[in-house]
Structure 1
Amino acid sequence: MPHSSPSSPVAVYRQPVVDLDRNVRAYALRAATSAVATDPVAEDLVEAHYAQLDLTELAGDAPVILRATARILSGALPLPTAAQGTWLELTARMAADPDAATHVVTLRTRDVRTVLGDYAATPGQDALLPLAGWAKVDATAEPERLRALVERAHALGGQVIAERVGTARDLQAAQEAGADLLQGPMLVRREEAQTREGSAGELQCLELVRLLSVEDEINFTAVANMVASDPEMSVRVLHMVNSSAFALARTVDSVRTAVVLMGARRLAALAMASLIDARPTAVGPLWAVLTRALACRTLTDETGYTVGLLSAVSAQQNLSLATMVRRTGVSAQVADALLNGAGRYGAVLAAVVAYEADDPQAVIATGIDPFAVAHAYLDAVPAALSTATALCVEAVSA
């Protein structure tokens, strides 16, 4: 998937849109430009960047909700397409345009859904909502205001996406207000969740990660023994190595040989897939875990991958970070990054997590170029999807 360089003045932010059971229904994309860009220049930059994106790679088997530009909305520029469809999100200013209704109707004839962004029940938005069908409200608004907006949208025949859901409090408020879908970070910030110590099976997966995270040469004999002690893991490793993904000339029957062929990073990902109980419906969570890990690696090195991986699994599974650090036996540097946000790895992790939360100011506060973070993350998405899909499919077929 081509991207411009990290110095590009455009950063694309991507967030999941989920139902109340946390199943991903779409991915919302918006582009941010440098503060010095004027509006016409900003639109030119955004449209050029949209043209470079492979929306299917960014969304997998879900549709994309794309923040519109004036020319894309009017049809002067072609609408970027995704395999499962592209929805257009209209800003409040676009909804106030006298030609907005004509554009929305034209898009409907092409089976393109529209979403009213920043819904505030303005006259222009209310006139469009029966045609558009969807509206976005701010989950962090005052509860009474949030409930009133949701009720108004429903009364007009629309459905509601509550966005900016980044905490357990936001989630509860959106649910109580009656929102139909939720938009926010895939991994809700850890401090909002009740953490736990982990089951025996989860701890064994973490023990395997510990063996794979040593800074010196990995002891693949010990790794093979660990894998062999778990019949299900042994089957998964052998099945993976003998799958079409490896395209080996001969079948591998030895767990030790399979472990060596898998390599440390893929084995760590497989351990995380087992911990998450990977299956086709779990592609989304594993995809998010691996994307964070790969983004951290792009911005640092292999140690950064471990930091991102453990952080994401901790958040995804509500596992105590202290347990993760203790059971994996990672270096003091990694532990300090995970527990205290310290050092280079801690800063990069904070930047990536802030990007996931669609919080550019928090990214800037880390001292890391927000455009570099955005490009690293988006470049990680397709590779993470490929690995997650393969691991989840192999989990079922094994």
Structure 2
Amino acid sequence: MTEAIPLLARQPIFNGNMQVVAYELLCRNSELTQIGTRDGDAASSQVLLNAFTELSIEQVVGKHKAFVNFTRTLIDTPPPFSRQKLVIEVLEGQKVDAAMLHSLMQLRDQGYTIALDDFVLTRETEILVAYADIIKLDVLHLPAETLKQHIDYLKPFGITLIAEKVETYEMFEHCKALGFDLFQGYFLAKPKVITGKKISENKQSVLQLLSALHDPNVPIEKIERMIARDTLLSFKLLRLVNSAAFGLSREVESLRQAIMLLGLNKLRNWVNLLALSNLSGKPHELSIAALTRARMCELISTEINQRNRPDSFFTVGLLSTLDAFLDTPLEELLANLSLSNTLNNAMLKHSGPEGMVLQIVQSHEQGEWDKIDWKALESAGLSAEKLAEIYVDSLRWVAETMNTLGLGPA
């Protein structure tokens, strides 16, 4: 690879059925210059070009399209990106003039898809509507009445409307009712608020299994029986154990054999993941996000001299998403698991090495690179370039692992 991989994070864009239709790419170069700022213009073209060529954009977004923020410089002199994979996202606040409209017309004539980011309808911006295929509205910023006026005005144009900054499932349902087509925000990682309702039976079963898995005093025979009760879980676990990921010299035919050969410590995290991914009513993307977080935590731990316990970092990354899977506050869920205080405090207070790494990964997920203590990371032997590599390696590994597990989207 001739250039360093840029710092990248991706945020999913969903349809009304919670299926991913695209990702927005959040980018910085290795010098930590934000793409989309005036100072970042000079570097942004090369960084994005590298992401689409050297890196291969498929490693980051798979079969989906990539929404990429374009500053005025990039609109006027666009890099040669794939028309099939790219959605050009025109940043808000740019001066609308004849030169800009001419550039947008040229991009559309060349087959590019144009999206307007954080759009607010004014006399100046009204003319942009004719050039847009997609318009994103910030549902946190726009007052309710203004939001409705925007939707009523834009709908007749046949433009795809994206609700941006959707932070809760309640807001997701509200935006669906308003008539939005697509949805973007961090609501996926948050639990649904369910008042006056007990945790469902299948979630209760998963919680009981997780509790047994992490209780050092529970006999292996009991865990084996609990896994065996779930036929689909048993099948997927045996398929995983017999895959190339484990590299065993002989075929494993039973749960007891798998536990004896590999040990419960090695299997524990995989059973965690499989049990959570089997939950009905949860989008496929949540399993991808959870496994990506866990893998990043694990890989970072090996870079900062925590090689003797990478499993604990993987566990913290994975179980920190429990609230989103089980729609119950994380603190309440962890009270039911026999985890060490070290792991509990890592998830709840970001304390200790595991907690520090978890906080880094969570900041990275949201593209909040300013919240990462880069000096501390550098002193621990982890550079921004290496973190970027770890993210892309994690996405690749997750895609392969989900395929091995047969956990494709429904």
Match of 1:232 in 2: 232
Match of 2:327 in 1: 318
Displacement of 1:28 after TM fit? 0.7
Is the aligned partner of 1:302 residue 2:303? no
Deviations 1:227-248 (A, max 9, x none): 3454433222233344576676
Q: Identity across aligned pairs (percent)?
A: 24
SS in 2 for 1:17: strand
Deviations 1:191-231 (A, max 9, x none): x7348875554455445545665899x98777545534544
Say if 1:250 and 1:333 are closer, same or farther in 2 by CA, change over 3 A: closer
Which AA in structure 2 matches 1:19? N
Displacement of 1:27 after TM fit? 0.6
Displacement of 1:184 after TM fit? 1.2
Is the aligned partner of 1:335 residue 2:344? yes
CA contact (8 A) 1:208 1:268 kept: no
Between Structure 1 and Structure 2, which shows a larger proportion of helix residues? 1
Match of 1:346 in 2: 355
CA contact (8 A) 2:167 2:185 kept: yes
Displacement of 1:157 after TM fit? 3.5
Say if 1:388 and 1:206 are closer, same or farther in 2 by CA, change over 3 A: farther
Residues in 2 aligned to 1:93 and 1:226: alpha-carbon distance in whole angstroms: 57
SS in 1 for 2:406: helix
Say if 1:282 and 1:138 are closer, same or farther in 2 by CA, change over 3 A: closer
CA contact (8 A) 1:25 1:62 kept: yes
What is the aligned residue count?
A: 388
Match of 1:26 in 2: 22
CA contact (8 A) 2:9 2:26 kept: yes
SS in 2 for 1:114: strand
Which AA in structure 2 matches 1:99? A
Deviations 1:271-299 (A, max 9, x none): 323333279x9532211110121222233
Displacement of 1:183 after TM fit? 0.9
Say if 1:248 and 1:339 are closer, same or farther in 2 by CA, change over 3 A: closer
TM-score of the pair, normalised by structure 2: 0.76
CA contact (8 A) 2:18 2:283 kept: no
Say if 1:395 and 1:244 are closer, same or farther in 2 by CA, change over 3 A: farther
- RMSD of aligned Cα (Å): 4.2
Is the aligned partner of 1:17 residue 2:13? yes
Say if 1:193 and 1:378 are closer, same or farther in 2 by CA, change over 3 A: farther
Which AA in structure 1 matches 2:344? A
Q: Please point out which of 51, 54, 57 is paired with 2:56.
A: 54
Residues in 1 aligned to 2:376 and 2:122: alpha-carbon distance in whole angstroms: 38
Residues in 2 aligned to 1:395 and 1:167: alpha-carbon distance in whole angstroms: 22
Deviates further, 319-328 or 361-370 = 361-370
Q: Please point out which of 372, 387, 390 is paired with 2:401.
A: 387
Displacement of 1:136 after TM fit? 1.3
Deviations 1:60-85 (A, max 9, x none): 2322112235565456521157xx72
What does 1:115-194 align with in structure 2 at a 5 Å threshold? 115-123=115-123, 125-141=125-141, 142-168=143-169, 170-171=171-172, 174-175=175-176, 177-185=178-186, 187-190=188-191, 193-194=193-194
Match of 1:42 in 2: 43
Residues in 1 aligned to 2:314 and 2:245: alpha-carbon distance in whole angstroms: 22
Displacement of 1:306 after TM fit? 0.9
Say if 1:23 and 1:366 are closer, same or farther in 2 by CA, change over 3 A: farther
Residues in 2 aligned to 1:262 and 1:394: alpha-carbon distance in whole angstroms: 27
Structure 2: gaps spanning 5 or more residues: 302-309
Displacement of 1:122 after TM fit? 4.1
